[in-house]
Each structure stands twice: as structure tokens, then as C-alpha cells.
Chains A and B, each alone.
Chain A
Amino acid sequence: MLLLMAPWLVGFSVFFGYPLVMSAYLSLNHYDLLSPPRWVGLANYRYLFSVDPQTWTAVKNTLWLIVVLVPLQVLSAFGLAIMLARARQGVGIFRTIFYLPALAPPVAATLGFVFILNPATGPVNTILGHLGISGPLWFQDPHWSKPSLVLLGIWGVGNTMIIFLAAVLDVPRTLYESAQLDGAGPLQRLRYVTLPSISPVILFAVVLGVIQGLQYFTQAYVAAGVAAGQASQAADVTAVSLGYPLDSTLFYPVLLYQHGFTDFQMGYASAMAMFLLVVSFAVTLVIVLNSRRWVHEGAR
């Protein structure tokens, strides 16, 4: 039995168990990567919660992203799935068009968005200018940088849309027919048939979205670097552009990266990672426990 489980056990231990235990241990140490770890107890946690001037900015930005992006992603993925499920012609073409952005690598997609939304030379503001509208500064404005990332997130919602589409198409036709016989209109059928039937998929999308929101990094890192105009500069300025503009894209994982890999404070970064782990676990637990109220039992 143990022999059969060995490949999994090795993989789990090497890639999950060991890093997790080491991370917990290092979070209680001063560790700069070059000299041996030195025990500091809870000092890293105290610095994280009471001194680091960027912690709460990063926490607030991350919460903003989760609260805004996750519902919008779920709604747009569900909306697109409903429309595609009802389409009579060109279904294949539309499915491909809406799914295609999900295939774009995150770095390339972000670079494209920063280019398109460049306030001075980008096509979006140029078109808005022709219409007499002074476009926003998008990634250059702390009020618009997160909404710009949300647009990017919605644009790439293809994967979730496919899962929703499969779930919507999987709802038994008989349920719709009997609801219709009972006099239910389109909205009532959506409310009482479709939504309960696909509620496990909604739960899945929400949990996944929240976890991805807590780990949001690549798009923020690339967008900040390019918008700050630091893309081609020497490595020593990278930390300066993180969170550009004005820390508005400084999400928790970005700050964690900054402390770990540009400031070489790996002990402190480990403390941040442990806190993120606890929060991720707690949030997921709350969502799953809460879901008992709204996830349809029969659909599970």
C-alpha cells in the first residue's frame, strides 16, 4: 500500500509538506538568504501587523480586488454561458471568440492592455478623444489602475465561462418543461431552475476566484512595471515600480514578493505567506460553510 502511495507521498512531501513546514519555521526567524536563519520569535509578525507601512495598503487593495473582480467575473461568465446556451446560429464561432482571451498568456495580455489603455497614445483614449471624451489615465491613475485590471480579468473569463456553459447545458430539459407548464416565465425559470441546478458550479467559481484573488500577482506586477516606464531598466529599480501608481496595485502577494525577492527578507516574507495561508483557509471555510444555505443539495 505504502509502495503504491510512494509517488504521491514523495511529491506531496517535496513540493508541499517540506516548503510549508520550512515556511512556518522561517517565519519565526530572521533570514536574509545569505546568512543562516536566526530565531526572532514573533518579531516578523509584530512588524507585519504593527509597523510595516505597506501591509494595510496591500490588504485593502487585495480585498478591493476580491470584492469587485470575483462577482463581476462570475456574473460575466454566467451571463456569457447563458447567451451561448441559447444561441441558435454561429455557436462554435462565438464560443471560440469568448474563450480565446483565456488562452493568452497573462504577461502578454497585460502588456496588450497597458498598450491599448495608454492615456496618451493608446487607441481607447484616441477614440474617446474623437468622441469629445477626455479618457482616464487608466494604469497611470491610482483610481483607475484597479478597474483597468478588473477589465483585464473580465476579458479573460473564458475558462470559467466554459465550466458554466457545461453546467447550464447539463440542466435537465424536463425541469424547464415542467416549470413552463406550471406557468414559470424566463426569469422564474432562471431563478428556480437554472441557478439551483448550477449552484455547485457557482460555489466552485467563487472559491476559485477568491483564492486566485488572494494570490493575484502576475498582472499587477507586469502592469505596474510597464506603466511606470521601468520595463527596460536595470533590475535595481524593479522594487520601485511595484504597486505603481501610488501603491494602488500593491496587492498582498506583490508586497510578499518585494520583501522576499528584492529586499531579501525571506523570514519576513515567510511570515507574510503564513498569514496569507491562514486567511485563504479561513475565507474558503467561511464560503463553503455558508454555501450550505444556497447550494442546492440535489445538485451536489
Chain B
Amino acid sequence: MKRVALVAALLALVLAGAAAGAPRHRSAPTKLTVWVGWSARELAAFKKLAAEYQKANPDVSLSVVGSINDDKIVAAIRAGTAPDVVSSFNSYNVGIYCGTGGWIDLSSLMKQSGISTSMFPPTTNYYTQYGGKKCALPLLADTYGLYYNKTLFKKAGIAGPPKTIAELTADAKKLTVRNSDGSLKQVGIDPFIGFYENVPERWILPWGGTYTDSSGKAHLATDPAWTKWLTWQKQMIDWYGYKNLVKFQAGLGDEFSASNAFEVGKVAMNLDGEWRVAFIKAEHPTLDYGTAPMPAANPSLYGSGYINGTIIGIPKNGKHTQQAWDFVKWVTTNTHALAEFSNAIKNVPSTTASTHSKELVPDTHFATFLKIFANPKSGTSPIEASGASYTNLVQNFATKWQAGQVKDLHGGLVTLDKQLDAQVSQAKGGGVP
């Protein structure tokens, strides 16, 4: 018996040696196409990251295509010409991608690779799943907070950023400067929905508002936070004067340009994303400003904020699912990759480990957003079957409210709740509930 085993072992060794000595046939690298939404400077940073992956994995060749939006992604999936990997800026649409199976469920691939959802903060886990399917992973995150102009604060005799709504209101009024005809020259904070990054979902978080009850039905009318926020917002708009504010905004520069109203000192405080740090550094490096969490209605909520971000996944019917997954896994979970990309485009790295990476370039302005991102009370938009149109409907209501077109706030919110539920039902294919 021993002799048989010995012969078998020798034979195995000989065969292994022969295999090792045989000339190796090197197959051409698998070509993976990756679609991303970034463009210009940010696209170049992503391509650099992709090149690093390719260098470490010569069996794949990555082709990165930028400036992609959700329309193009959906059209490509329909036509059967989708790339191997897709990413979208619009985490709201996860409900559509997961719900329809347009992006594949990554759960089994994650399990097979030992990737646990506990690597990611709860909010990013929320906006990368829908209906029990994990069809996306976060690829850096956007976190929102308050930017304030220190020079204008000093001029107005304000020591530091506001932490409560009362302080925010008082500071905003102090920082507002009017022309002789009553029109606005400088605004303390502009709470107008539709202005730059102002959407209800970003403003409601520090007020503690939620969208749905435990049964999944919209409850904006019964959640007191919505009424409180909308009432405060309208009072502020009326204090500025609706028409004054609209005219003031029409004269402001484009948000994503060097004429941005905060960057040029036209608005003293502004709700904005962490990427503004990089924009200011590039466009107005001498601007004396600070960053802080948004003032909160409840002290326990101070420090939290709104989070969303870029999502990445694999479209259905892909030809190289395993290779695509290997890349997705690396780019979304590798601490070095996330820190490097975060440094390049100044977005928040999206795993818990990467937010503590020593590779992150220290920046006091940016550090605020890392803290907001890590805050357990930070949140995001509701992920519903109807995608972005859910929050658009809420925004539509808020814009009518701020213009004075809604006379009965509670009645309006009751109707809005019904419309939101009907919209979700319609999106699920259930027709009118």
C-alpha cells in the first residue's frame, strides 16, 4: 500500500514538473469596459486608479468611459450593449436598478469573496440595496454640511458657526445686507428650494424628519418635523421676500464655476457637499471659510447630515461577471484605492476603515465631512421603486409652498402623502391603489 502511495506521489510530482516546464500560453487580457459619470479632472483621477488596478492585474484590460448618466445606462442595458461595470451618481435610482434586475444582485459574489456589509456605514448600505437585493456598492460618498464665510462672520460680530435653528435664523439675518431699494446684496443663508444644492431631503435631516411609517406609507403630514421645517423655511423666505430672493438668485453665478455665490461672498452660509473644499482650493484659495454640520432642531441631531454618493454595480447579461466583480470589489473595499481616490477628488471614502486611513491627506475643512459621514444619525434619501421621482414630488410640493401657493400646509401634506403612495404603487406596476 505504501509502495502504491509512493509511486502515485512521484507520478504527481513528475506531472507537475512537466506542466511547470511546458511553454506557457499567455492568453490576451480580458477587456472590461467601465462606465462612470465623472468627467474632466475627476475622470482623470478615476482613470489613474483603474490603471493602478490594471498594473496589479495584467489579466484584465480596463477601458474607462466618462460622462455617463442614467439614461445611457438604461438604454445600454435594454439594447444588450451594457458595459461590464457601471456607476451612477444617482443613488436614488437604486430602487429601479435592483427592483428590475437591471443591475445584478451582488450578494452571492460578496459572500464568496468574504465581503460583509458591515464594512460600510449603515447609510451607504441603505442606498445600495432595494427589496432585499444588494445590487450596488458605494464608491466614495457625498456628505453635506454648512460652509460659512469667516470674514463675513467677523464683520457681523459672530464668533462661530450656528448650531441651533434659532442661532441659524439670527445669524442669517445679521449677515444679510440689502441695497437701498430693499433688494438683496448679500444673503445670510438661502433656504430657497431649488437653489444650488437645496432639496428637501438635505434640509429635513437636521430636523429629524422621515418619509415613511413602519408600514412603508408616506407620513409627511403626521411627522411634525416636516411641518416645523416647512414653516421655518417659509418664514425665512418671507423675511427675505420671495421676489427679492428669486431676483438675487438670478444674478448669481453658476454653482459649479468660480462665480459660485458662496465662493464670491454673496451668501455667507451655504448648505453644500464636501467637494466644495476642492473647488474652493482650486478657484479661491485665499477664501477664509469654515465647515460645520448643519444646525439642528434637536441637539441630539447636531453632527449628523445628509449622505448620498456614487454607486457602482454590474449590469445584467454581462460577459465577464467574475472579472467585473473583482474590479468592483477592489475599487469599493480596498482602503488604499479609496483613500487615493478620495484625496484626488475630495469625496468621502466609503468604507469605515478607509475613513481612518493614514493615506488620507489631512484637511481641517474636509475633516468635518468625515465626522458627519461617521455619525450614526446621518441619513439619506428614501429608496423607493419610483426612484428619483419620489423626492422630486416632495420638492415640487416644497417649491409651491415657498411661493405661497399652498394655503393649508397640513392639507397639502396629506394630499402629498397620498400622491407619494400612489406613485410608488404605480412604479411597482400596481396601478392606482
Binding site for B on A (CB under 8 A): 30, 32-35, 38, 40-41, 43-44, 46-47, 50-51, 53-54, 118-121, 137, 140-142, 227-229, 231-236, 239-241, 244-247, 258, 261-265, 268
Contacts and interface: CB of A to CB of B under 8 A. Distances in A.
A137 B243 CA distance: 8
- By size class, the interface of chain B is 35 or more
Contacts of B101: 34-35
Interface in B58-88: 69-71, 74, 77-78
Nearest to B433: A51
A263 B74 contact: no
B90 interface: yes
A263 B250 contact: no
Interface string B418-433: 0100100011011110
B196 interface: yes
B90 A235 contact: yes
Contact of B102 (A34, A54, A233): A34
Interface string B250-268: 1110111100000000000
Interface in B21-79: 37, 69-71, 74, 77-78
Nearest to B181: A134
Given A30-B429, A233-B256, A234-B37, A240 B243 contact: no
B199 to A, nearest CB: 7
Interface stretch (B6-14, B109-117, B359-367, B392-400): B392-400
Contact of A229 (B97, B196, B199, B419): B196
A53 B415 CA distance: 10
Given A32-B96, A34-B78, A229-B249, A239 B432 contact: no
B100 A232 contact: no
- A-side binding surface: helix, strand, loop or mixed? loop
Contacts of A261: 71
Interface in B330-389: 386-389
Interface string B215-229: 000000000000000
B135 to A, nearest CB: 11
Contact of A46 (B92, B249, B393, B431): B431
Given A33-B74, A34-B100, A47-B431, A120 B386 contact: no
B246 A141 contact: yes
A236 to B, nearest CB: 4
Interface of B: 37, 69-71, 74, 77-78, 89-90, 92-93, 96-97, 99-102, 194-196, 199, 243, 246-252, 254-257, 386-389, 392-393, 395-396, 399-400, 403, 405, 415, 419, 422, 426-427, 429-432
Indicate the member of B93, B247, B249 with the most A CB atoms within 10 Å. Answer: B247
A231 B254 contact: yes
A235 B70 contact: yes
Nearest to A39: B429
B350 to A, nearest CB: 18
Given A34-B101, A51-B419, A51-B422, A232 B250 contact: no
B251 A120 contact: yes
Given A38-B429, A43-B430, 18 more contacts: A30-B429, A33-B78, A40-B431, A43-B432, A51-B426, A51-B432, A53-B396, A118-B251, A119-B247, A121-B251, A141-B246, A229-B194, A236-B69, A239-B389, A246-B400, A246-B405, A263-B389, A263-B427
B425 to A, nearest CB: 9
Contacts of A142: 403
Indicate the member of A35, A44, A261, A264 with the most B CB atoms within 10 Å. Answer: A264
B405 A47 contact: no
B96 A34 contact: yes
Indicate the member of A38, A44, A51, A141 with the most B CB atoms within 10 Å. Answer: A51
Contacts of B100: 32-35
A61 to B, nearest CB: 14
10 closest A-B pairs by CB: A43-B431, A120-B251, A30-B429, A235-B69, A34-B100, A34-B102, A236-B90, A35-B100, A263-B389, A120-B250
Nearest to A117: B250
B388 A262 contact: yes
A129 to B, nearest CB: 10
B139 to A, nearest CB: 15
A239 B392 CA distance: 7
B250 A119 contact: yes
A284 B92 CA distance: 41
A34 B255 contact: no
A87 B64 CA distance: 61
A137 B250 contact: yes
Nearest to B103: A34
A121 B89 CA distance: 32
Contacts of A268: 426
Contacts of A30: 429
B183 to A, nearest CB: 9
Given A51-B419, A118-B250, A244-B194, A236 B89 contact: yes
B199 A240 contact: yes
Contacts of B89: 234-236
A231 B253 CA distance: 12
Given A232-B257, A240-B199, A261-B71, A120 B387 contact: no
B116 to A, nearest CB: 28
